[in-house]
Structure 1
Amino acid sequence: MSSGGLKLPKGWEVKKLGEISLVGAGNSAPQNKELFKNGKYFFIRTSDVGKIKKGHINSSNDLLSEEGILKLKLHKAGTILFPKSGASTFLNHRVIMDIDGYVSSHLATIKPNKRIKDRYVWFYLIMIDAKDLMQNIAYPSLKLSDIRKIPIPIPLFPEQKRIVAILDKAFAEIAKAEAIAKTNLQNAKELFESYLDNVFKNKSDDWEEKLLGDICKIESKLIDPKELKYQDFIHIGAGNIVSEKGMLIDLKTAKEEALISGKFLFDDSMVLYSKIRPYLMKIVKCEFKGLCSADIYPLTPIKGKLVQSFLYYLLLSSHFTKYAIEGSQRAGMPKVNRKHLFNYSFYCPLVKQQKQIIQKLDQLQFEIKKLEKIYQQKNESLIALRKSILQKAFEGEL
Structure 2
Amino acid sequence: MTIDREQRQWKNRPYVGLEDIESGTGQLLNDKTITTVKSTTFGFGADHVLYGRLRPYLNKVLLPDFEGHCSTELIPILPSHALDRTFLWYWLTSAPVVAAIDATCTGARMPRANLDRVLEQEIPLPPLEEQRRIVAVLDEAFAAIAVATANAEKNLANARELFSAAARMAFSNGLAETPFETLRVEQLARPHKGSMRTGPFGSQLLHGEFVDEGVAVLGIDNAVANEFRWGKQRFITEEKFQSLSRFLVHPGDVIITIMGTCGRCAIVPDDIPKAINSKHLFCISLEQGRCLPGYLHAYFLHAPDARAYLEERAQGSIMAGLNMGIIKEMPIRLPPLPTQKVIVEAINSTRSEADRLARVYTAKLQNLAALKQSLLHRAFAGELTATAPEVVAA
Indicate the TM-score class for this superposition, using the shorter chain for normalisation: 0.7 to 0.9
Aligned AA for 2:278?
Answer: S
Q: Distance in 1 between matches of 2:5 and 2:335?
A: 62
Task: Kindly state the Cα deviation for residue 275 of structure 1 after the two structures are TM-superposed.
Answer: 0.9
Q: After TM superposition, list the pairs within 5 Å mapping 1:22-171 onto structure 2.
A: 22-24=2-4, 41-49=13-21, 51-57=22-28, 59=30, 63-65=34-36, 68=37, 72-85=41-54, 88-127=55-94, 128=97, 129=99, 130-134=101-105, 140-171=111-142
Task: Kindly state the Cα deviation for residue 296 of structure 1 after the two structures are TM-superposed.
Answer: 0.1
Task: Kindly state the Cα deviation for residue 277 of structure 1 after the two structures are TM-superposed.
Answer: 4.8
Q: Deviations over 1:285-318 (max 9, x none)?
A: 1211422211201122222321111111112127
* 1:323 corresponding residue in structure 2: 309
Aligned AA for 2:67?
Answer: D
Q: Distance in 2 between matches of 1:241 and 1:112?
A: 50
Task: Kindly state the Cα deviation for residue 29 of structure 1 after the two structures are TM-superposed.
Answer: 9.1
Q: Cα–Cα, structure 1 residues 352 and 41, in superposed 2: closer, same or farther, change >3 Å?
A: farther
Any conservation in 2 of the 1:43–1:102 contact (CA below 8 Å)?
yes
* 2:297 corresponding residue in structure 1: 312
Q: Deviations over 1:210-267 (max 9, x none)?
A: 3222224661665777999x95233221134334x424243414149x9999683212
* Alignment match of 1:265 (pick from 237, 248, 252): 248
User: Does residue 336 of the first structure (1) align with residue 316 of the second (2)?
Assistant: no
Q: Cα–Cα, structure 1 residues 286 and 63, in superposed 2: closer, same or farther, change >3 Å?
A: farther
Moved more, 55-64 or 144-153: 55-64
Task: Kindly state the Cα deviation for residue 122 of structure 1 after the two structures are TM-superposed.
Answer: 0.4
Aligned AA for 2:146?
Answer: A
Aligned AA for 1:309?
Answer: G
Q: TM-score, normalised by structure 1?
A: 0.77
User: Does residue 274 of the first structure (1) align with residue 250 of the second (2)?
Assistant: no
Aligned AA for 1:160?
Answer: Q
Any conservation in 1 of the 2:160–2:358 contact (CA below 8 Å)?
no
Aligned AA for 1:345?
Answer: P
User: Does residue 196 of the first structure (1) align with residue 177 of the second (2)?
Assistant: no
Task: Kindly state the Cα deviation for residue 155 of structure 1 after the two structures are TM-superposed.
Answer: 1.5
Any conservation in 2 of the 1:24–1:144 contact (CA below 8 Å)?
no
Secondary structure of the equivalent of 1:110?
strand
User: Does residue 295 of the first structure (1) align with residue 280 of the second (2)?
Assistant: yes
Q: Distance in 1 between matches of 2:32 and 2:182?
A: 46
* Alignment match of 1:238 (pick from 200, 203, 220): 220
- Unpaired runs of 5+ in structure 2? 385-394
Task: Kindly state the Cα deviation for residue 121 of structure 1 after the two structures are TM-superposed.
Answer: 0.5
* 1:206 corresponding residue in structure 2: 179
Q: Distance in 1 between matches of 2:138 and 2:253?
A: 53
Q: Distance in 2 between matches of 1:323 and 1:237?
A: 24
Task: Kindly state the Cα deviation for residue 134 of structure 1 after the two structures are TM-superposed.
Answer: 2.8
Aligned AA for 1:213?
Answer: E
Any conservation in 1 of the 2:156–2:362 contact (CA below 8 Å)?
no
* 2:267 corresponding residue in structure 1: 285
Secondary structure of the equivalent of 2:103?
helix
Any conservation in 1 of the 2:7–2:41 contact (CA below 8 Å)?
yes
Secondary structure of the equivalent of 2:149?
helix
Q: Cα–Cα, structure 1 residues 297 and 62, in superposed 2: closer, same or farther, change >3 Å?
A: farther
Q: Distance in 2 between matches of 1:381 and 1:391?
A: 15
Aligned AA for 1:94?
Answer: V
Q: Distance in 2 between matches of 1:357 and 1:26?
A: 65
Aligned AA for 2:66?
Answer: I
Q: Cα–Cα, structure 1 residues 22 and 321, in superposed 2: closer, same or farther, change >3 Å?
A: farther
Task: Kindly state the Cα deviation for residue 340 of structure 1 after the two structures are TM-superposed.
Answer: 1.3
Q: Cα–Cα, structure 1 residues 62 and 274, in superposed 2: closer, same or farther, change >3 Å?
A: farther
* 2:349 corresponding residue in structure 1: 363
Any conservation in 2 of the 1:207–1:348 contact (CA below 8 Å)?
yes
Task: Kindly state the Cα deviation for residue 381 of structure 1 after the two structures are TM-superposed.
Answer: 2.7
Moved more, 97-106 or 378-387: 378-387
* 1:219 corresponding residue in structure 2: 195
Q: Deviations over 1:73-128 (max 9, x none)?
A: 4311353222213xx43322323223332111112222324443221100000122
Q: Distance in 1 between matches of 2:45 and 2:222?
A: 45
Moved more, 361-370 or 230-239: 230-239
Q: Cα–Cα, structure 1 residues 210 and 276, in superposed 2: closer, same or farther, change >3 Å?
A: same
Any conservation in 1 of the 2:83–2:128 contact (CA below 8 Å)?
yes
The percent of aligned pairs where both chains have the same amino acid is 22
- Unpaired runs of 5+ in structure 1? 1-20
Q: Cα–Cα, structure 1 residues 329 and 71, in superposed 2: closer, same or farther, change >3 Å?
A: closer
User: Does residue 396 of the first structure (1) align with residue 365 of the second (2)?
Assistant: no
Q: Cα–Cα, structure 1 residues 240 and 95, in superposed 2: closer, same or farther, change >3 Å?
A: farther
Q: Distance in 2 between matches of 1:26 and 1:301?
A: 66
Q: Cα–Cα, structure 1 residues 71 and 377, in superposed 2: closer, same or farther, change >3 Å?
A: closer
Aligned AA for 2:157?
Answer: Q
Q: Distance in 1 between matches of 2:352 and 2:32?
A: 39
